[in-house]
Structure 1
Amino acid sequence: MAVNQRSAEELTTLIHRLQRQLRCIAQKIDDPQGPGTAMQGVMRVIGDHGEIRATELAEKLGIGTAGLSRHLSELVAMGYVSRRPHPGDGRAHLVSLTTAGTQAVAEEMRRRGAVLQHMLEDWTEEEARSASESLTRLTDTLQTSIRAMKPGTHQMPIPAGEDAK
């Protein structure tokens, strides 16, 4: 049975609340000398994918190329990211983490993990794993649905078995 409208709205509200709480945590624990939360997100995606085209990175982050360009310029200046021309396409650039960038991402993950571990001290390991599995499934489902959207539109494809109105 499909999710009903009320449950979908409640889940949307809960996701927004979770995002706000994560932002609050990040603001309290971010290193003022290091890259900010947005740039750390850029670095994590680069770290997950290795060397990647800047345009593909912007797509994965869901941001415009102009905004990404600003982040990348700062990260290159800080020594966390390297950028080079794409050998097969002179208009494109490939970006990757430097050794310092890889170390910064790993350190930040350890730091954030320790904070979250402390905050979840009254949770069991099973509860944490269950939450992780649910969030993974939700993220994967949303990502699949987003990829199925027609480019340049905000319309979702019509689910199987339903007629267009």
Structure 2
Amino acid sequence: MAIDAERGGQLVLDLTRVVKLLRAVNISVPRFDDAVEASAHPLMFALHDGPARVTDLAARVHTDVSVVSRQVSQLETRGLITKVPDPDDGRANLVTLTPAGTELVTRVFDRSGEWMARLLEDWTPDQTDTFSSNLGRLADSLHTELRTLTTAEENR
């Protein structure tokens, strides 16, 4: 059975609060690398899934290509990523993590996991698993909605 608009509205308020709190925490925590903005972490996590073109990376992290290009340049200067020729198209490049980039992603992931474990220390494993499952379902629904919206926009 579907939820009503009142419950939906309360969820929007709760999610807005969570997003704002996550942003505030993100601003306040020490950086893992002084030269790497926290906003570049999703890009690096996406590269951990495998090399990709800049346009594909932008789609993976739901960010504008110009923003991803700027982040790629900064991360390349830091020696955390490199560009390699695309074996399927010699005119294009793939972006990939360097060993230093892979080490940073591992460190960020491990420390973030430790932080989340401390944050949820009074949650049971079952509560955490249920939350994680539901969060994944929400992400899937948002992804479907985004595809629907972008398809509708392209058809105008």
TM-score w.r.t. structure 2 length? 0.86
Cα distance in structure 2, aligned partners of 1:19 and 1:66: 24
User: Counterparts of 1:49-128 in structure 2 under 5 Å?
Assistant: 50-89=50-89, 92-128=92-128
Cα distance in structure 2, aligned partners of 1:13 and 1:92: 43
Amino acid at match of 2:7: S
Runs of at least 5 residues in structure 1 that lack an aligned partner in the other structure: 156-165
User: Counterparts of 1:1-165 in structure 2 under 5 Å?
Assistant: 1-31=1-31, 33-48=34-49, 50-89=50-89, 92-151=92-151, 153=153
**Alignment root-mean-square deviation, CA:** 2.2
Cα distance in structure 1, aligned partners of 2:123 and 2:142: 27
Range with greater deviation from structure 2 (8-17 or 99-108):
8-17
Range with greater deviation from structure 2 (66-75 or 12-21):
12-21
Cα distance in structure 2, aligned partners of 1:88 and 1:151: 27
Contact 1:86 1:94 in 2 (8 A): yes
- Which is helix-richer, 1 or 2? 2
Q: Deviations over 1:73-105 (max 9, x none)?
A: 001111111123434345543111111111101
Cα distance in structure 2, aligned partners of 1:150 and 1:27: 30
Higher relative contact order (CA 8 A, sep 6+): 2
| SS in structure 2 at match of 1:16 | helix
Cα distance in structure 2, aligned partners of 1:102 and 1:13: 36
Runs of at least 5 residues in structure 2 that lack an aligned partner in the other structure: none
Cα distance in structure 2, aligned partners of 1:34 and 1:133: 34
- Number of matched residues? 154
